[in-house]
Amino acid sequence: MDKLKTIDEAIDLIKDGDTVAVSGFMMATAAREILVALGKRYKTTSTPKGLTLYQGAGNGNNNDQGVCEMSYPGLIKRYVTAHFANNRPMIEMALKNEVEAYNFPQGVIAHIYRQAAARRSFEISKIGLNTYCDPRQRGGKINQAAKEDLVELIKIDDEEYLKYKVPKFDIAIIRGTTADELGNISMEEESSVIDSLEVAMAVKASGGKVIVQVKNLVSSKSMDRKLVVIPGIFVDAIVISQNPEEFHRQTPGTFYDPMIAGRYKIDGAGFSSIDMDARKIIARRGLFELKAGSVVNLGIGIPEGVASVAAEEGIDDIVLTVESGLIGGIPMGRSNFGSAINAWAGLSMVSQFDFYNSGGLDITYLGFAEIDSRGNINVSRFGDRIGGCGGFIDITQSTKKIVFCGTMTAGGLEISTKDGKLNIDKEGRNIKFKNEIEEVTFSAEESLKLGQDVIFVTERCVFSLEEDGLCLIELAEGIDIEEDILKNMEFRPRISENLKKMDPRIYEEGLMNI
């Protein structure tokens, strides 16, 4: 079985018009060397062209590496992703209608791969109802070039569902650590297995070809069966990375760390403390919602501060999870986002979203960018800034309790605290509580149907989601409702008859001792 190929021989397998699926979460399992070579091939020969590209999580370094290095007009005809990962060339193509662009939830795309692996034609899910993924809004379409309807609203036993189309996949471009001559792939140096197996199985079930980038080639006689993630029956081409430090990095910030790979655990690891600023104040208030033993997901940005504050307060009986598939341990941020140290286990991404979709999380802390009077939230698109939903919709439509965390205003907000009181020293330039938002990433209507417990925590007040929209339920000492709240909203929320003061410990230095 001669599966070892040069990178050029592997790219020869990709034909004009193929539907390609790539694995990856940031740099984890992202076959960057092949992606770069594919982009160069197209620039040199104008082939292969007209590809449809499916990508679950954000792929690359959130800057200039990854899928962005093959994002050329003509090379990619259609792009279906959960997150653009700051892929500026692709965003520019979408804005110019040079690519048919779609944005679906991360878990939905993961499940599309699973359905393809079983040769099913669609994924039926409630995830996405009453958001921009719903065909009654935009059906996940990013631009005018995206004309084909890839999702349909259906009813089963008088209940609404979304029916997502499953394509026929022709090519998988995935990554592992080590291969043997039979094509068996192990992933012992990856931060998690992500979606590599699901992508491989989806493509093989469609009659396509699977290309795998690895660092090492060993004899099958020495391959430990327990380490094999992708059996050789699913693999057609093995490409050995020629420059792994550049093109086969564990994360954007780390070439290889055995702690991130889960080979070892370390004592004394924890979250660093954060300064007493708006982020910490919001995280402190959010912490009051946390119960012992909770299984938690934290969004990026301000919500990550909840873990730091919990550590400061000596709260260590919670279990943190990451969309990439990791459970337990200490999730990492910034250039190592999507990884964790001291994790208990690493599931495949699709299994993690099975867990999320089943309501397995006790609570999630997520950010917000725009909120309307009904309580709908937009975090996915702002004019020509296209991010995508990632796992946001999956998590917010499945979790029992949701704590949205964010500042009241954005752009230059400055605050200070004294004697348990909050002072707004300089108001932010941008209003976040708006009459209308650009698109619905979190649906208040769907949340109310599901009976979720939802609050919105800012540095100066707390709102709850009610049947009639937002309700102001808590106010910080030193804050004036008219001057500091209502003047910074385009709509007037209901004010609770039982309006409470936010706990003064939130604004004081030292431990809160909750």
Half-sphere exposure of 189 (CA within 13 A, CB side): 20
pLDDT digits (tens, 9 = 90+) for 25-36: 999 999 999 999
Q: Give the number of other Cβ atoms within 10 Å of residue 418's Cβ.
A: 10
- Domains in the chain: ranges and CATH: 7-248 (3.40.1080.10), 278-507 (3.40.1080.10)
Residue 237: is its pLDDT beyond 80? Answer: yes
Percent helix, percent strand, percent coil in the chain, to nearest 5? 25, 30, 45
Q: Give the number of other Cβ atoms within 10 Å of residue 440's Cβ.
A: 24
Closest CA to 113 of 30, 17, 22: 22
Percentage of the residues of the chain whose pLDDT score is greater than 70: 100
Residue length of the chain:
514
pLDDT digits (tens, 9 = 90+) for 410-422: 999 999 998 889 9
How far is 456 from 375, CA to CA, in rounded Å? 9
Under DSSP, is residue 508 helix (H, G, I), strand (E, B) or coil? Answer: coil
pLDDT digits (tens, 9 = 90+) for 136-146: 999 999 999 99
DSSP characters for 314-333?
T----EEE-TTSEESSEE--
The mean per-residue pLDDT over the stretch 372-394 comes to 96
Task: Tell me if 68 sits within 8 A of 60, measured CB to CB.
Answer: yes
Burial class (CB in 10 A: 0-12, 13-18, 19+), 423: middle
Whether the bond between 48 and the residue before it is cis, its omega within 30 degrees of 0, is yes
- First and final C-alpha spacing in the chain: 62
Residue 360: is its pLDDT beyond 80? Answer: yes
Residue with tokens 């975090």: 379
How far is 378 from 387, CA to CA, in rounded Å? 11
Q: Which 3-state string (H, E, C) describes 364-399?
A: EEEECCEECCCCCEECCEECCEECCCCCHHHHHCCC
Burial class (CB in 10 A: 0-12, 13-18, 19+), 249: buried
Closest CA to 19 of 148, 142, 133: 148
Half-sphere exposure of 392 (CA within 13 A, CB side): 30
Q: Give the number of other Cβ atoms within 10 Å of residue 386's Cβ.
A: 22
Q: How confident is the model at residue 273 (pLDDT cuts 50, 70, 90)?
A: confident
Q: Which of 98, 198, 312, 323 is flagged as catalytic? A: 323
Percentage of the residues of the chain whose pLDDT score is greater than 90: 93
User: In angstroms, how far is CA 461 from the centroid of its own chain?
Assistant: 27
How far is 260 from 116, CA to CA, in rounded Å? 31
Task: Tell me if 197 sits within 8 A of 185, measured CB to CB.
Answer: no
Is 323 tagged catalytic? yes
* Degrees to nearest 5, angle at CA 314 with 310 and 318: 55
How far is 166 from 423, CA to CA, in rounded Å? 53
Residue 1: is its pLDDT beyond 70? Answer: no
Alpha helices in 137-264 (DSSP H): 196-205, 244-247
pLDDT digits (tens, 9 = 90+) for 73-82: 999 999 999 9
Q: What is the mean pLDDT of the chain?
A: 96
pLDDT digits (tens, 9 = 90+) for 98-157: 999 999 999 999 999 999 999 999 999 999 999 999 999 999 999 999 999 999 999 999
Tokens of 102: 């779609």
pLDDT digits (tens, 9 = 90+) for 31-79: 999 999 999 999 999 999 999 999 999 999 999 999 999 999 999 999 9
Is the C-alpha dihedral spanning 315, 319, 322, 324 positive or negative? positive
Q: Give the number of other Cβ atoms within 10 Å of residue 126's Cβ.
A: 16
Residue 316: is its pLDDT beyond 90? Answer: no
Q: Give the number of other Cβ atoms within 10 Å of residue 451's Cβ.
A: 7
Residue 216: is its pLDDT beyond 90? Answer: yes
